Amino acid sequence: MQLNDHWRKIVKTLIFAFLCTEMQTTYTHRDLAAKRGIGLAEMDAIAAENGKEGFQLKMVAPHQASIRLLTLERDYFGKGHICSGALVAPSVVLTVTSCIFSQVKKSYYHPSELRVVLGSPQRFAPNEQALVFGVTHIHQPPKDLALAILMLDKDVPENLPYIQAIGLPTPGATSILDSDHHNLLQINTWGYDGDIRELHDLVTLNATHTSCHQHQSKSPRICVQPKTSTTFVAGFTWMPVPR
């Protein structure tokens, strides 16, 4: 009996030490991520219906999706991020073909290898509003579109102010790039800052449509010029959002 009690104490001690280590790793990484980030995610204090004040996440881009690799995401929240996407329907995320292609394996990822995070403007810090989805299918339209359509394992709940699908143009409608609003565009990204450090907070940049060189062997490109100095390039999956 004494021997069994002794082993129980050892096991409890090991479990406690493990939990402490995990907690320390999590908070240490959050501190590091905060230092890497530019600014803070927008948080607005909104009066609740019952008159009490509460904080509710106000997403600048509620359609923004973070596509992540499950194997890396298991280490800590945000490590698995490989690219962004856009929620276009309750269970449909649109992204670029290159996002789902593994340069290491020289093949496309299987749906089971991916996870999609919605409602989280901070890459490395989970919040109560964030939802994580599995991917059941990946559909690739004709290669000249350079698109990838990810089908989520369930629908996004309705009436969530911090997670909303972006509206797609109707057939025959004038493209915003050909309209009077072509200079009122926005780019949402985590990406990297000027020192090539991963961004913690989702950044929104004002941009304008500009011309760029087209590669005959590659998909047509749409180029935009931010109101700063760097030119961003994207395929047809880049979706301008009028302000």
Tell me which of 195 and 27 has the higher pLDDT: 195
47: in domain: no
CATH, residue 114:
2.40.10.10
Look at residue 224 and tell me if it is in a domain. Answer: yes
Residue 182 in any domain: the answer is: yes
Give the E-state strand segments of the chain in sequence order: 43-47, 53-57, 64-69, 81-89, 92-96, 101-102, 107-108, 114-118, 131-139, 147-152, 185-189, 203-210, 222-226, 232-234
**In a shared domain, residues 141 and 72:** yes
Residues in the chain: 243
In a domain, 50, yes or no: no
In-domain check, residue 100: yes
Do 82 and 118 reside in the same domain of the chain? yes
- Of 223 and 106, which is predicted with more confidence? 106
Residues 14, 61 within the same domain: no
- Please answer whether residues 152 and 132 qualify as being in contact, where contact means their C-beta atoms are separated by less than 8 angstroms: no
Question: What number is the average pLDDT over the span 114-127?
Answer: 90
Residues 16 and 173: their CA atoms lie apart, in Å, by: 61
Are 200 and 131 contained in the same domain? no
Asked whether 134 and 184 are in contact (CB, 8 A), the reply is no
104 within 8 A of 78, measured Cβ to Cβ? no
Residue 94 shares a structural domain with residue 148: yes
The three state secondary structure string of 157-170 is CCCCCCCCCCCCCC
Q: Which amino acid is at 92?
A: V
Other CB atoms within 10 A of residue 186 CB: 17
pLDDT for the residue 91: 95
Give the count of alpha carbons within 13 A of 199, CB side only: 20
**Residue 158 covered by a domain:** no
Domains in the chain: how many in total?
3
Q: Are residues 16 and 81 in the same domain?
A: no
**Domain that includes residue 130, residue range:** 56-152
For residues 191 and 201, give the distance between their C-alpha atoms in angstroms, rounded to a whole number: 10
Q: Verify that 80 and 136 share a domain, yes or no.
A: yes
The angle at the Cα of 110, spanning 155 to 192, to the nearest 5 degrees, equals 80
Min mean pLDDT across 48-62, 66-80, 216-230 is at: 48-62
- Is residue 38 scored above 50 in pLDDT? no
**Among 80-84, 192-196, 222-226, 227-231, where is mean pLDDT lowest?**
227-231
29 plus 90 within the same structural domain:
no
Residues 78 and 136 placed together within one structural domain of the fold: yes
Q: Do 20 and 60 fall within a single domain?
A: no
The last residue of a domain, from among 152, 185, 218: 152
Give the tens place of pLDDT for each residue, 132-184: 999 999 998 877 678 899 999 999 998 888 899 988 877 777 766 666 666 66
Interatomic CA distance for residues 169 and 8, integer angstroms: 63
Taking the C-alpha atoms of residue 224 and residue 189, their distance in angstroms, rounded to an integer, is: 14
